[in-house]
């Protein structure tokens, strides 16, 4: 704890209009903390004054809280006095963090090493022969350098394998590109031995693409880029959430949850941004990671990279402005691809089958499950409790991964594969968590965070942000009208999503009316009348069956 002992800061604290929840013993009572540049301090004069007030009122809870602060302050004070005078000293305890400490480096320094010989690939030669045969089969006749590009390996790594395959009369050279050397040799499959080997290769799998990464190398890559190395501070979290209106109280819960790299349970009313919060958490986790296109597990191929779920990062060449005839060498093993840390969100469509290896009977390879694709990032189960599978069955599925940090996946042959589970698992629901999970499971979810309704002040700030994003002039008087007519009479609660939704409807109506979007009462009323539902119960003659 850091203590401010200068009285002028005490007066400054009292003049501040807003204070977070943790500045008090209880909300609004015994104010004794303040934040300066995102750093929390206890104000020693305030602690002593609040303690005297609590003792006068016989407030036992407040007395215990403040006495512990006083004890820590007296210990720091005694230590400081032993080293000399306190004249001119304003702070006791740890010094404020530096800019580097307040905004820790989250850059990923892992880079998969470029193979220099075929043994570096970690794959059996027979497996590599099969891959080459399938590539030539799909392309008819193809140059050696093109085979290397399709397999995502340097040609010097592939060259000795092609020579070995020629010696075994599996393939043959049928031509050569001019001025290209050995890499320009054009290959085709040579019968009968090559044709027989091809049939055997196609019976195993039809996969053609970048060479798989050995499973051990995949595990190494996951652990090297673990979410456990991520550190979030009070300063760094604000930059990631700058486009959302979130209270300091919520920041104080979300930040430590990310630092723990443990599971999180978001609960609260719908429309308050639980999904948006999860998506922005990845901004705090660093820029990018490397994932393999595919992984080889006991001779089987598992596809990990998914262009629908993952966002590939295009690396900008620092020498883009220079002219050169030389092709820049790859700086990492091209069997890996650089992606943004994944954020995978699933909702009511989630089934148990989506959480295990999926066998592609046509291609004869496996598709990695969602949690494996989410390694190094976030896996969020949205609308938890509304899936087709029972909530308890889904929860039980996560007991081992949450406890052991690895998961077991099953192949069609019945073999089990132990896969790292290195991600932040987030559950999000607008149902009561105690109705979805028992105490034993809730204990395994380390952080339970309620995403609360915004205050009126926050609601107005959201309107300002939304108007700025939609390039609509913000009108405070129009928001006053909206609140007075559509919220206060019915005590309607504010939701984070409502300003965005209502403004979008105002824009649509304005287009229909061929007019400019503004905060006219007619436009506000037209939008709200089609957005909000009247609370009055009405019978339209139809019945809903819930069984």
pLDDT in tens, 422-437: 999 988 888 887 777 7
Residues 352 and 441 placed together within one structural domain of the fold: yes
**Upper half-sphere CA count for residue 137 (Cβ side, 13 Å):** 22
Of 156 and 253, more confident = 156
pLDDT tier for residue 510 given thresholds of 50, 70 and 90: very high
Residues 474 and 443 placed together within one structural domain of the fold: no
149 and 208 in contact (C-beta within 8 Å)?
Answer: no
**Upper half-sphere CA count for residue 293 (Cβ side, 13 Å):** 15
Decide if 364 is inside a domain.
yes
Decide if 375 is inside a domain.
yes
Query: What is the Cα–Cα distance from 385 to 407, expressed in whole angstroms?
Result: 22
Residues 48 and 171 placed together within one structural domain of the fold: no
Domain of 394: which CATH number? 3.40.50.300
Give per-residue pLDDT as tens, 292-326.
999 999 889 999 999 999 999 886 543 444 444 44
pLDDT of residue 55: 94
Beta bridge pairs of residue 428: 266
Residues 308 and 343 placed together within one structural domain of the fold: yes
Decide if 482 is inside a domain.
yes
Query: What is the Cα–Cα distance from 496 to 452, expressed in whole angstroms?
Result: 9
Structural domain for 258, as ranges: 219-318+331-450
Residues 10 and 69 placed together within one structural domain of the fold: yes
Give per-residue pLDDT as tens, 228-275.
887 888 777 877 787 788 777 888 888 888 888 888 888 888 888 887
Residues 496 and 412 placed together within one structural domain of the fold: no
Query: Which domain-ending residue is among 151, 182, 211?
Result: 211
Residues 193 and 224 placed together within one structural domain of the fold: no
Residues 223 and 267 placed together within one structural domain of the fold: yes
- Tokens representing residue 380 in the block: 């969020």
Beta bridge pairs of residue 419: 407
Residues 428 and 304 placed together within one structural domain of the fold: yes
Domain of 163: which CATH number? 1.10.10.10
Q: How many CB atoms lie within 10 A of CB 239?
A: 10
428 and 281 in contact (C-beta within 8 Å)?
Answer: no
What is the total count of domains within the chain? 4
Residues 405 and 446 placed together within one structural domain of the fold: yes
For residue 297, the SS3 value is: strand
Query: What is the Cα–Cα distance from 91 to 115, expressed in whole angstroms?
Result: 55
DSSP states along 300-319: EEEE---TTT--B--PPPTT
Note if the bond before 223 is cis, omega within 30 degrees: no
Query: Which domain-ending residue is among 431, 450, 469?
Result: 450
Residues 143 and 173 placed together within one structural domain of the fold: yes
Q: Which residues neighbour 304 within 8 Å (Cβ) at sequence distance 6 or greater?
A: 218, 291, 292, 293, 294, 295, 368, 372, 373
pTM of the model: 0.78
Lowest-pLDDT range of 49-58, 238-247, 292-301, 390-399: 238-247
Residues 416 and 312 placed together within one structural domain of the fold: yes
Query: What is the Cα–Cα distance from 272 to 452, expressed in whole angstroms?
Result: 7
Residue 358 in this model has a pLDDT that exceeds 70: yes
- Tokens representing residue 396 in the block: 């039980």
Query: What is the Cα–Cα distance from 4 to 89, expressed in whole angstroms?
Result: 9
Interaxial angle between packed helices 456-470 and 498-513, expressed in degrees from 0 to 180 and rounded to the nearest 10: 40
Give per-residue pLDDT as tens, 5-35.
888 888 989 888 888 878 899 888 999 999 8
For residue 161, the SS3 value is: helix
Query: What is the Cα–Cα distance from 291 to 306, expressed in whole angstroms?
Result: 10
Residue among 21, 96, 256 at smallest CA distance from 33: 21
Query: Which domain-ending residue is among 211, 237, 254?
Result: 211
- Give the pairing of strands 358-360 and 365-367: antiparallel
């Amino acid at each position: 704890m850091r203590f401010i002992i200068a009285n002028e800061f005490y007066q400054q604290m009292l003049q501040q209009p807003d204070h977070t929840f943790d500045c008090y013993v209880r909300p609004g009572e015994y104010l004794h903390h303040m934040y300066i540049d995102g750093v929390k301090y206890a104000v020693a004069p305030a602690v002593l004054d609040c303690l005297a007030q609590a003792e006068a009122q016989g407030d036992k809870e407040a007395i215990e809280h403040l006495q512990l602060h006083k004890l820590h302050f007296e210990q720091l004070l005694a230590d400081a006095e032993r080293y000399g005078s306190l004249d001119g000293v304003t702070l006791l305890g740890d010094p404020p963090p530096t800019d580097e400490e307040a905004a820790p480096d989250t850059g990923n320094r892992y880079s998969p090493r470029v193979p220099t010989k075929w043994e570096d690939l970690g794959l059996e030669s027979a497996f590599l022969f099969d891959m080459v045969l399938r590539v030539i089969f799909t392309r008819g006749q193809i140059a050696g350098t093109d085979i290397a590009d399709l397999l995502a390996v340097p040609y010097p790594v592939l060259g000795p394998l092609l020579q070995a395959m020629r010696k075994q009369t599996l393939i043959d050279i049928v031509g050569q590109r001019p001025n290209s050397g050995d890499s320009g040799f054009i290959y085709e499959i040579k019968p009968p031995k090559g044709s027989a080997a091809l049939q055997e290769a196609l019976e195993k799998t039809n996969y053609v693409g970048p060479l798989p990464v050995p499973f051990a190398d995949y595990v190494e890559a996951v652990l090297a880029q673990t979410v456990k190395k991520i550190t979030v501070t009070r300063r760094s979290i604000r930059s990631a959430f700058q486009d959302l209106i979130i209270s300091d109280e919520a920041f104080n819960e979300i930040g430590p949850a990310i630092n723990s790299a443990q599971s999180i349970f978001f609960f609260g009313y719908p429309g308050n941004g639980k999904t948006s919060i999860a998506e922005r958490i990845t901004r705090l986790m660093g820029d990018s990671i490397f994932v393999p296109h595919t992984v080889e597990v006991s001779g089987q191929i598992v596809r990990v990279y998914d262009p629908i779920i993952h966002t590939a990062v295009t690396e900008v060449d620092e020498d883009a402005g220079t002219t050169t005839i030389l092709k820049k060498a790859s700086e990492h093993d091209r069997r890996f691809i650089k992606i943004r840390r994944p954020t995978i969100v699933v909702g009511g469509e989630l089934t148990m089958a989506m959480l295990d290896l999926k066998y592609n009977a046509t291609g004869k390879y496996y598709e990695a499950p969602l949690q494996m694709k989410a390694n190094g990032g976030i896996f969020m189960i949205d609308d938890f409790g509304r899936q087709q599978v029972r909530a308890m069955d889904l929860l039980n599925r996560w007991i081992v991964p949450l406890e052991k940090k690895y998961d077991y996946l099953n192949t069609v042959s019945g073999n089990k594969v132990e896969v790292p589970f290195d991600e932040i698992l987030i559950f999000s629901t607008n149902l009561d968590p105690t109705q979805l999970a028992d105490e034993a499971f809730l204990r395994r979810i380390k952080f339970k965070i309620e995403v609360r309704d915004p205050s009126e002040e926050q609601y107005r700030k959201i309107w300002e942000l939304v108007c700025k994003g939609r390039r609509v002039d913000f009108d405070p008087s129009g928001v006053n009208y909206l609140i007075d007519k559509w919220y206060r009479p019915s005590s309607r609660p504010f939701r984070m999503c409502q300003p965005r939704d209502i403004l979008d409807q105002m824009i649509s109506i304005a287009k229909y009316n061929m007019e400019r979007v503004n905060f006219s009462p007619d436009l506000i009323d037209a939008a709200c009348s089609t957005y909000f539902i009247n609370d009055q119960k009405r019978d339209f003659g139809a019945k809903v069956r819930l069984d």
